[in-house]
Every structure is written in structure tokens, then in C-alpha cells.
Amino acid sequence: MPLPRATTLAHRILADQIPEGSCVVDATVGNGHDTEFLAARVGDSGRVHGFDVQLAALQSAKERLRAAGLDHRVRWHHGGHECLADYVADPLQAVMFNLGYLPGGDHALITTTDTTLRACSSAAALLVEGGVLSIVLYRGHPGGAEEAQAVETWILGLDAAHWSVARYSPLGRRREAPSLLLASKEPRLA
């Protein structure tokens, strides 16, 4: 069996980390795969906040969620995830990023290092203890390698006393394939 893609592995790992009733964020809605996964996990008492700067992406994702009967669990935000804290005040159980451009969408509308780092910092601050941040990185497009490096550097800078971090990366000829970064906020002792 082939090894899982970074996006698939993110779902497998997060599935255990999102109890029903959680409030979570899909920071890059794109085609809505992550939004649908999150909406299924949080249940009717939970909430997903979905962000994207492409209206067309939000519209088709919304259609996907409606078809799955999950649309009512999602608040859609047409705007940049760097403004996360302006829209979401609730403590978050999980925040997912899937960076780069949307295949089939506008390839000029890629995530950028500066806004991605700002969004990651906001997400880290809003996570509950026991919450998890998941970031799928792409190095193959212009600017992708720089963004990936910056996010890895940022994640390594998280206080090791309170965070555990991990990376799943392809090796060898497949090194341009996406990689997955995870950061879990550990409970502080009273």
C-alpha cells in the first residue's frame, strides 16, 4: 500500500483530536475537503470557521457541504486567515492549513509567507490546551519553498515546554510532494 499523502495523514491524526462540540478552523477552504472532514467531526453542537480569499472556492465548498448535509455547521469567511482573530474569539480545538494554490482555481492566488506566518501565530494563540495545528506545505511552486522554510522555522520556535511538534516529509525523488507539520499545545500544569 502506498504511504498516505500529507493531506490524508492530517485527517487520520486529527480524527482522534477533535471531540464532538469542538470549535475548529479551516484556514484555507479551497476545494472544501478539509472543511467537510472538520464539519463531520465536530457534530451538530460544534462549529467550523472556514476562511478563503477566493469567493469561487467558498461557493463550491459550500455546495459540497450542503450536499453532505453539513453546511449548517460552518461559518464561511470571505477574507484572509491573517485576520482570524477578528472573526473568531472562541477557543479552538484544531486549525488546519493547506497552503499553496488551489488546483483548478486561480494559481496567482497563493498563500504568502507573511500572511501565513501571521495566521499561524493567531491560530497558535487561540488554540486550547490539547489543541492541534496542522499545516500542509508545498515546495514545488514559486515562493513555496521559501514559505515552507519560514513556517518550519516558526514552528521550531514554539516554546518546547508547551508544544510538541512533528513533521512528515517525503524523501528522495518525491521531495517536491507535500509535507505535513503538526503542533500540539500541551496542557500546562497548574
Residue 72 beta carbon to ligand SAH: minimum distance, rounded to whole angstroms: 22
Piece in contact with ligand SAH (CB under 6 A), picked from 52-60, 64-72, 152-160, 180-188: 52-60
Contact mark string toward ligand SAH, 14..33, x via CB under 6 A: --------------x-x---
Contact mark string toward ligand SAH, 68..97, x via CB under 6 A: ------------xxx---------------
Please select the residue that binds ligand SAH; options are 115, 121, 143, 170, rule is CB under 6 A.
Answer: 115
From 114, 179, 108, select the one nearest 142 (Cα to Cα). Answer: 108
Strands 47-52 and 74-78: parallel
From 3, 102, 124, select the one nearest 55 (Cα to Cα). Answer: 102
Residue 168 CB neighbour total at 10 angstroms? 17
Residues 142-181 close enough to bind ligand SAH by CB under 6 A: none
| CA 26 – CA 98 distance, rounded (Å) | 9
Residue 53 interacts with ligand SAH (CB under 6 A): yes or no: yes
Residue 42 beta carbon to ligand SAH: minimum distance, rounded to whole angstroms: 20
Number of residues that this document lists for the chain: 190
How distant, in Å, are the alpha carbons of 5, 64, 92 from that of 174?
Answer: 11, 31, 33
From 119, 110, 117, select the one nearest 140 (Cα to Cα). Answer: 110
Residue 113 interacts with ligand SAH (CB under 6 A): yes or no: no
Please select the residue that binds ligand SAH; options are 13, 85, 109, 145, rule is CB under 6 A.
Answer: 109
Handedness of CA 134, 140, 141, 147 (dihedral sign): positive
Please select the residue that binds ligand SAH; options are 22, 35, 54, 93, rule is CB under 6 A.
Answer: 54
Residue ranges in contact with ligand SAH by CB under 6 A? 28, 30, 51-54, 57, 80-82, 98, 100-103, 105, 109, 111, 115, 138
